[in-house]
Amino acid sequence: MIRLRLEQRAATPVWFYAALPLAAVLATLVLCAGLIVLAGGNVFEAYGKLFLSPVASRFALVETAVKAAPLIFTGLAVAIAFRAKFWNIGGEGQLLVGAMAAAFIGGRTSLPDLSLIPLMILAGALAGAAWAMVPALLRTRFKVDEVVVSLLLNFIVFYAMMALLDGVWKDPLSGYPDSPDIRDEAGFPTLVARTRLHLGVALAFLAVPVVHIVMRHTTLGFAIRATGENTTAAAYAGFPVGRVTLATAALSGAMAGLAGVGEVGGLHYQVMAGISPGYGYTGIVIAMLAGLNPLGVLPAAFFFAVVITGAEAMSRATGIPVYLADVIQGTALITMLIALLFTRYRLRFRGAAHG
């Protein structure tokens, strides 16, 4: 009889970390192939439509990049927070407050035209940072679990937003629960003619190397990583752990807030109930798939953007439910978490003694 057990690794090869996301994605596709078969579809045709249609043309590729922008920001937000072991599950709420702040500033007629876009970006980042500081302050001052607080804050800000959209922001003419449009001068410039490739997409792609530099080559980044590796040792070494946690939360929340700014300034020009179909939560999966590496967030976010945008094309062509995209997201998180287990442990097969 063969016995299987986990054995702790003495050391983990570097290549192993690079191979983990690929293994997780491959395992996800294999597992989800069973669902495609159960739905009566052809696996190769379904995956072909899912992954090729979002990059099959210049227009489709641009739309995929536009979809990837908020995912990059929320993925970075989670990667920053989790590196310090600050479990920020509130990216969705921080995105929403960033969007509301941007819409509020973008609609101000008293502000000069040229100041609107910079102020929208600043206000959205500050709003997201301030919202993320709430669970950070409760954790550092009162030892309150930030997972529960940041998660519950998502619901609070969502219903507060809905109260605004059904109240003072409600369009009196149409009756739709949408905020007033921002001014024309507040709309992000389009980078490529006759496409929706806007300034927010460029900012998202630019944020990846910036966050990487901050995390790898600055004192703050080193403090964040040291705090995440061992809080006690970091405190013993002289790092102000409480302030590092607050700074981590502020940086993380600012990234999530910028995701909301991009959606208002570059796509919708207003706030609406469905402005985020769960980008904040998807950011958790993206950050885990990226191994909490800011550079890994870019391909991980693009992968999920492809899955999300390709799901409708796959559904139209094959009849497979579009919800397969959600299943792929959830399965990818599970497979990545399992894969991370093998960075610390290895499987050992041993034959049991017969006696």
Provide the pLDDT for residue 262: 96
DSSP state letters, 151-188: HHHHHHHHHHHHHHHTTTTS-TTT--S-PPPPPGGGSP
Match domain 57-318 to its CATH number in 1.10.287, 2.60.40, 2.60.120, 1.10.3470.
Answer: 1.10.3470
Within 8 A by CB and 6+ apart from 30, the residues are none
For the chain, the domains span 1-41+320-351, 57-318
pLDDT, one tens digit per residue, over 254-279 is 999 999 999 999 999 999 988 999 99
- CB distance 256 to 94 below 8 Å: yes
pLDDT exceeds cutoff 90 at 280: yes
Report how far residue 256's alpha carbon sits from residue 88's, in angstroms, rounded to the nearest whole number: 11
Please state the length of the chain: 355
pLDDT tens figures, 97-136: 999 999 999 999 999 999 999 999 999 999 999 999 999 9
At 5 the three-state DSSP class reads strand
Asked if 90 contacts 135 with a C-beta cutoff of 8 angstroms, the reply is: yes
Q: Which residue has the tokens 């006696």?
A: 355
Write the CB contacts of 157 (distance below 8 Å, at least 6 apart in sequence). Answer: 93, 96, 97, 131
Block residue for tokens 């799901």: 311
Give me 82's structure tokens.
């989790």
Q: How confident is the model at residue 1 (pLDDT cuts 50, 70, 90)?
A: low
- The H-or-E segment that residue 262 falls in is helix 241-263
| Average pLDDT over the chain, rounded to an integer | 90
User: Residue 63: which H helix or E strand, with range?
Assistant: helix 58-83
Euclidean distance between CA atoms 97 and 128, whole angstroms = 6
The DSSP element (H or E) to which 15 belongs, if any, is: helix 14-38
| 329 close to 285: Cβ distance less than 8 angstroms | yes
Q: Is pLDDT at 322 greater than 60 in this prediction?
A: yes
pLDDT for residue 351 = 65
Instruction: Read off the pLDDT of residues 328-348 as tens digits, 9 standing for 90 and up.
Output: 888 888 888 888 888 777 777
pLDDT of residue 353: 52
pLDDT score, position 355? 42
